[in-house]
Structure 1
Amino acid sequence: MTVFARRLALGPKQQDRLERASLLNAACLSGLSVMFLGGAWLPADGAGHRAGPVAAFAVALAGLVVFCLGCAAQVMVAVTGKPAFLLAKEKATGVRPRSLGSDAPASAGTEVSVYRDDADSYAQLRRYEVYVDGKRVGRLRRGELVNIPVAVGSHSVQVRISWCSSGEVPVEVGSGERVSLICRAKPGARTDLGVVTRRRDGFLLLREV
């Protein structure tokens, strides 16, 4: 999906539509799977039952058709936003509760700010989820910033994607103070698939700036 978006030079709005049309992405992957299945079914030397090669070719062709239709539908949805029923409902992003981790109201200007590094090349079409004191308070694309009003005192901040996350970063926020953090995926995450299982709680990096 990331390569697809790059090649078409899609803007943020088009990329958002492409991400929300996950059903089409699944259709493309299913089409590819069926196409490869049909190819694997073809006899290597033409031996076997007479109907075998014909049936295998038909399966592979059906998979190719599904894949091509899925790609064409993705382009149409990304560019035009139609048909709308293929788009999942957009979830609210940004600030959620006014006060987190305490019953006391947040002081004016007292907040935690989390920025996703615009140089982060991992999962560019997906959002990182931001948690403060165990509660989800926002979601971030690459280059986006979320400001979360909090109560004065100690808080823990974490970012997550799927089953992977950063460590919990403790912050101390004074009255009228903004504590700023930056997050990104661990270097090499795109190529080292084993890091997803070896260090799931250190897959994303989050630090105070």
Structure 2
Amino acid sequence: MINIQREASWSDKFRSYKVIVNEEEVGTIRQKETFQYPLKPGIHTLYLKIDWCRSEKFEFEIKEDETLNFQCGGLNGYQAFINLWYITFGRNKYLWMKQI
């Protein structure tokens, strides 16, 4: 199982992120929500997407009865002031995600 917690960010406050597992959309996550998704044991890829922008792809292995926790969010602080760069050249880093 994976758990994804989304932090608050003003840049995408009213929008959902698509959750992509193994290149398939499996759900959405809104600001300050937690998304849970059961996975079979093995190697998987995970990323988040909004419009043509996304997070970096995260590859991980999950074992039987294991739960992995992630945090995610959008642009904050100084990044919001250079969002033109993030929606063009940095579009694969527009969203962030890390394992906790």
- Same fold per superposition (TM over 0.5): yes
2:4 to 97, 114, 123: 114
Matched, 1:191 2:76: no
Correspondence 1:143 to 2:32 = yes
- Residues 152-195 of structure 1, C-alpha deviations (whole Å, 9 max, x = no match): 01111100110000011012111101011111113334322322
Matched, 1:175 2:70: no
Gaps (5+ residues) in structure 1? 1-110
Q: Runs of at least 4 residues of structure 1 off by over 4 A?
A: none
Local SS of the residue matching 1:186: coil
Tell me whether 1:166 sits opposite 2:36 in the alignment.
no
Q: Does 1:203 align with 2:94?
A: yes
Q: Between the two proteins, what is the percent identity of the paired residues? A: 23
Q: Which runs of 5+ in 2 are unaligned?
A: none
* Separation in structure 2 between the aligned mates of residue 175 and residue 141 of structure 1, nearest angstrom: 28
C-alpha separation between the residues in 2 aligned to 1:185 and 1:134? 21
For residue 116 of structure 1, report the CA deviation from its aligned partner. 0.8
1:125 aligned residue: 14
TM-score scaled by length of structure 2: 0.90
State the AA in 1 paired with 2:16.
R
Distance, in Å, in 2 between the alignment partners of 1:173 and 1:140 is 21
Q: Greater CA radius of gyration, 1 or 2?
A: 1
Q: Secondary structure at the match of 1:197?
A: coil
2:9/2:75 contact within 8 Å kept = no
